[in-house]
Structure 1
């Protein structure tokens, strides 16, 4: 059976995972322990690695059964089809998360203003600042060269 991605309301990932697990579904919600700073104290808090995402291992024809147990959630779609995560990817994620050396981690998307290093293409290993992001192209500012370039997203990853 494939793994699908359920999009949940913010900060309800653990509740959705627990509800589905208690109803017999195989779910995975990777979490990390992070240190949060308040004005008077520091506290270690368990947070989901992927905000608003829970992975569920379920047959394609049984996907709708999930909504009998949870509300205000939906499946993540990619190219008009439910996003599928391979078993091998979930296993790698589980193995990485079980590693004792993993203390804090963050998953975030690239956004305007981020500094990146270009991995491929003519400007390989150049530092750049993201100016705009489109579906297939991205505008980057190259501070060392003093100009802006328009590159395909696959060239920088």
Structure 2
């Protein structure tokens, strides 16, 4: 690879300091680095009030789109910790997976359909949830949550009752 181009860029998973995901993503974008912090809205309940809060879907992680040779630039910001590695190499996420994640989170039409019927070990075609060419394996279920390992990402996604649709 003699010259750098956008085709040499990949999405990487970057660990952040706790509760610094959205701030770091914004800082990196100010630095000209494409960063994505997927978020979901949760209802937080305290003894005196309820409030909708936007929380990161991937705790202490964001996705950055950057050329391999420039990956170290993210460490100019103090909230960047390290990259996620998979089999000894920096974990790469495909653009299709990132776009599927974005479209999944942007879709406001989710409903719950039989969460209690899901069982650990079941393989799921994640196409119905907006993921293309990604298979997931259910690892945990309860009456309110379902944890699915996205095999293409090597990550567990936790779906809550209000956002899950099958």
Structure 1 residue runs of 4 or more that deviate by more than 2 Å after TM superposition: 69-72, 115-120
Provide Cα deviations, 1:118-137, integer angstroms capped at 9, x if missing partner: 327xxxxxxx99xxxxxxxx
Greater C-alpha Rg: 1
Q: Is structure 2 residue 85 aligned with structure 1 residue 77?
A: yes
How far 1:27 sits from its partner (Å)?
A: 0.6
2:121 to 118, 121, 129: 118
The alpha-carbon distance between structure 1 residues 65 and 92, as it changes in their structure 2 partners (threshold 3 A), is: same
Structure 2: runs of 5 or more not aligned: 1-8, 112-117, 124-138, 141-166
Kindly indicate whether the alpha-carbon contact (under 8 Å) linking 1:19 and 1:70 is maintained by their aligned counterparts in 2.
no
TM score, norm. by length of structure 1 = 0.65
Structure 1: runs of 5 or more not aligned: 104-114, 121-127, 130-157
Partner residue, 1:45:
53
Q: Give the number of aligned pairs.
A: 112
Q: Is structure 2 residue 71 aligned with structure 1 residue 63?
A: yes
TM score, norm. by length of structure 2 = 0.61
